[in-house]
Amino acid sequence: MLRRTLLAIVPRFGKAVVLGGLLVVMLSGCDRGSTASQTPHQPLSLARAETSPPEDAPQDMVTPAEAEAFGSQWRDAIMTRDGVKVGQLLDFKKIFNRSLEGLVDNERFRNGYLKGAGPAATKFVQSVTPYLTREGAYDLVGAVYRDGQSHVVFRLLDDNGRINYHDLHLIREAGIVKADELFIAATGEAFSDTLRTVVGAAAQSQNSFVDRISGQAKAELKRLELQTQISQAIQSGNTEKALQLLDALPEDIKKFKTSMLYRIAATPVEDEAAYLAAVEGYVAEFPEDASVGLISMDVAVMREDPTMLIAAHEAMTQWTGGDPFLDLMIGANLANLGAVDQARAMVADADVDASPLLEAQDYAATVALATNDHDEVLKRLRIMRDRFGLQFGDLHDNEGFETFVQSPQFEQWESEE
């Protein structure tokens, strides 16, 4: 039966698509005689995505064709779970080095920590495995440009319809195109910044190291240790413990970005008041953050607010450079909220036939039903039946089909069943 209540639009937030499993790898290599750097760490950020290369692009900049070729290689390596190839395409050592900034500058500790960069690619592939169950679940959205530099953007979609995006910053090194940083939309930060949690846990495990540092670095290590405990509670499903740990945090740490994201992840969506309060608090604190677009989509649907949903879509379009699948998802939700004209405009340019995802057909059918485009409804029903093997019951019993079942197209559909 066609799902008139659409699949979950946004993932519950947390750090599921990061390298939680790397902690053990790194702990095994770190040296106890370390000192900490007092250099303040500056988190990386992403500029708005542009779909055309800059006119004054340097000659050695990664070209659009090279970026697309890299994107195809990366997608194939992820989908085939090829950790070796992933490690060749993304420089995990640079990411690990960046994650140490402002925390540790001792060479022996650094060398031990960097031993984790070797198996990191395999661990990363394992972390995205839940998204790799079907064609199109991890797919290239396109090549984009940020501040004159090349990037590629990927969409992740799991079997529950939870969506996320990855962005890889591309460089040319010794004539070879590769990536040297990964940004994750759901966390709103670079992967190297996320890994700082793991660095903190590794350092906290070595008392002789912690005893020798003070000031800013020691305070940050303590914060990172608490974040690790909260993350582990969320990933194990113990959200009650996670909320208790969050409530016990000092007031200033409660306002940290990761802490607020963890509260969203740990709060049951069934407790709508608490969930909305957690989300609204985060949006108010970080209005320009990349993750706000994803979170705001969730809130807009819960509030039945089409204006907010359109604004959230625009924010994510600025991050991704434009994703036709996201257009379909938002269009379907707008249709369900009664914003029919906006829904029609949202999906007007989407090439639904090119998508390997069942959800794309579902979303297109939802908009077609709302706009009484019966030819389009019939087309999507056929594709869902013939390509994806869906079986439909009596459409008279389905909300939203009241007009369609009175149409000649429905008579044609019935004759085929």
Q: Which residues contact 218 (CB under 8 A, 6 or more apart)?
A: 36, 210
Q: Is the pLDDT of residue 239 over 60?
A: yes
Least confident among 10-14, 80-84, 187-191, 345-349: 10-14
Amino acid at 74: W
Banded model confidence at residue 377, pLDDT cuts 50, 70, 90:
very high
Question: pLDDT of 315-365, one tens digit each?
Answer: 899 999 999 999 999 999 999 999 999 999 999 999 999 999 999 999 999
Share of the chain above pLDDT 90, in %: 44
Q: To 5 degrees, how large is the angle CA 401–CA 403–CA 405?
A: 65
Task: Give me the pLDDT at residue 241, please.
Answer: 93
CA-to-CA dists, residue 126 to 120, 189, 197, 242, 376, angstroms: 10, 20, 19, 24, 39
Q: What is the mean pLDDT of the chain?
A: 82
How far is the C-alpha of 18 from the C-alpha of 98, rounded, in Å? 16
How far is the C-alpha of 187 from the C-alpha of 67, rounded, in Å? 24
Q: Is the CB of residue 224 less than 8 Å from the CB of residue 255?
A: no
Which of 145-149, 266-270, 376-380 is modeled with the greatest confidence? 376-380
Q: Which residue has the higher pLDDT, 340 or 236?
A: 340
Task: Give me the pLDDT at residue 106, please.
Answer: 67
Task: Give me the pLDDT at residue 24, please.
Answer: 30
Q: Is the CB of residue 155 less than 8 Å from the CB of residue 163?
A: yes
What pTM value is reported for the model? Answer: 0.81
Q: Output the CA torsion sign for 94, 100, 102, 107.
A: negative
Distance of CA 33 to the CA centre of its chain: 37
